[in-house]
Structure 1
């Protein structure tokens, strides 16, 4: 299979509402190569999961989107792409800290119990065919002050040093290309092993809001469709989507 290389073409913006929105407009208006990265110094309406907003200081963090050719993913379980992105972010962050870096379902990256990165993947369709996936990534890099409700950290807080955003982007692309090619080649086992082993709270008692009821559960697995398997204290096992369950820290 002819694999696109992620990061060969980069569009750099000073500010934009959201790199995902910008990517979607480009796809509709121009012939832009898949694998293109759209990097912004500042997003004034950066998007997170469940309709939340990604907030950060201008020029301090890594905020970008990647355009993926949907036709290459037509036989691939959709959440595997998110797993590849999450593992690549984890590998990047682990270079700068000895603390525990974990992947919090569905799309966050944590260091200990503080959020350092988030992922938002939005799909574009042509009829019933997936045309493109837009991967939005936000990584806290050089910002050192966060409001308390964000419960966030950054690479600078972890490593006590300033980081070059372009260098970090290159390192992410290198790691992501490797996992993305595993995905396209159907080598799902390595992806699943790396994701599962890094899953936040795996096999530990934790709290989930399940269909508006707070419960103590154990996380057992996240499958390739993005559904989480939870075991309740009485032994009952349920499989839930992100609209049905949310972890409470």
Structure 2
């Protein structure tokens, strides 16, 4: 984006506390974006008169009505178009209350793991939010907690609205799958300052757009053509309810308290995958069976020799279950 680029944002709070924060942030003009993008900020009370929103735009009031969290999602930043929601929360982490969520309709520089591009058309739930952590060993598993919260949020909305069961699954390390197709992805980044990790989490979930793969509503229509469709606001509200519960468990009891739920939801129990082992100056492919995850968050597998291995992506493959390398445990 060039120096004359501009971006509109709407601030919205769950209570008077967050509304006061919104008013202060607007007045002080502290939010900055990269590439000299000019930011125009509106409070929710001003947005209707100042911004044109179509019927399918994210409904901040519906979202706020759907959440009952103590920390996460209570301060919302909405924008019709952004380079990336991550580009809002990450550089402004210290200015925003912890748990702030940024939502956009479309983003033109969405990204995934290892600089992969995430397609971000309208109808996709695209958001980033912030949290703080102090325990370094829990940083690698936070993406798994987010994954569980996404899948459980979809199930929760199904239960609440009486919809057919939608079998949303987790593909290690950070993808969401439905009927064998990717419908979502998760990106976690962190910085360390003042003895704390500042973590920014970005999520894209195909709710109402069936490109480039499929989406929740396309599958729901096939299962039950007359059912109410998924709304992004409801899924996001359910997500924060689940995530706050799981995050508290993680902080108190570690990831062991969530492992069973994670393994019930992921795609990989007893899955056989190919790994590459270096033998001299050559790579030899071998098949191992996935048995879970190690304490560091990598895959744990057993070989034909009954040896337990830890599997690491080689960093070069788009599919992280291909081109795995292993080391003995």
User: Could you say whether these structures have the same fold, taking a TM-score greater than 0.5 normalized by the shorter chain as the test?
Assistant: yes
Task: Give yes or no for contact 1:125–1:131 (8 Å, CA) kept in 2.
Answer: yes
Query: What is the CA–CA distance in structure 1 between the aligned matches of 2:191 and 2:254, rounded to whole Å?
Result: 25
State the secondary structure of the residue aligned to 1:247. coil
Aligned to 1:188: 255
2:211 counterpart (122, 133, 145): 145
2:147 counterpart (70, 80, 86): 86
Shift of 1:241: 2.8
State the secondary structure of the residue aligned to 1:7. coil
Shift of 1:213: 5.5
State the secondary structure of the residue aligned to 1:78. helix
Aligned to 2:138: 77
Q: Specify whether residues 235 and 112 from structure 1 end up closer, same or farther in structure 2 by C-alpha distance, changes over 3 A only.
A: farther
State TM-score, norm by structure 2: 0.65
Aligned to 1:239: 310
Q: What 5-or-longer segments of structure 2 have no aligned partner?
A: 1-68, 222-227, 324-329
Larger radius of gyration: 2
Q: Where do residues 203-242 of structure 1 align in structure 2 (5 Å cutoff)?
A: 203-208=270-275, 214-242=285-313
Shift of 1:209: 5.9
Task: Give yes or no for contact 2:138–2:254 (8 Å, CA) kept in 1.
Answer: no
Task: Give yes or no for contact 1:196–1:222 (8 Å, CA) kept in 2.
Answer: no
Aligned to 1:21: 87
Shift of 1:232: 2.9
1:65 counterpart (128, 134, 140): 128
State TM-score, norm by structure 1: 0.84
Q: What 5-or-longer segments of structure 1 have no aligned partner?
A: 147-151
Shift of 1:210: 6.5
Aligned to 2:175: 108
Q: Specify whether residues 224 and 77 from structure 1 end up closer, same or farther in structure 2 by C-alpha distance, changes over 3 A only.
A: farther
Task: Give yes or no for contact 2:101–2:130 (8 Å, CA) kept in 1.
Answer: yes
For these two proteins, the number of residue pairs brought into alignment is 236
User: Over aligned residues, Cα RMSD in angstroms?
Assistant: 2.6
Relative contact order, CA 8 A, sep 6+: which one is greater?
A: 1
Aligned to 1:149: none
Task: Give yes or no for contact 1:208–1:248 (8 Å, CA) kept in 2.
Answer: yes
Shift of 1:126: 1.9
State the secondary structure of the residue aligned to 2:253. coil
Aligned to 1:55: 119
1:177 to 2:240 alignment: no
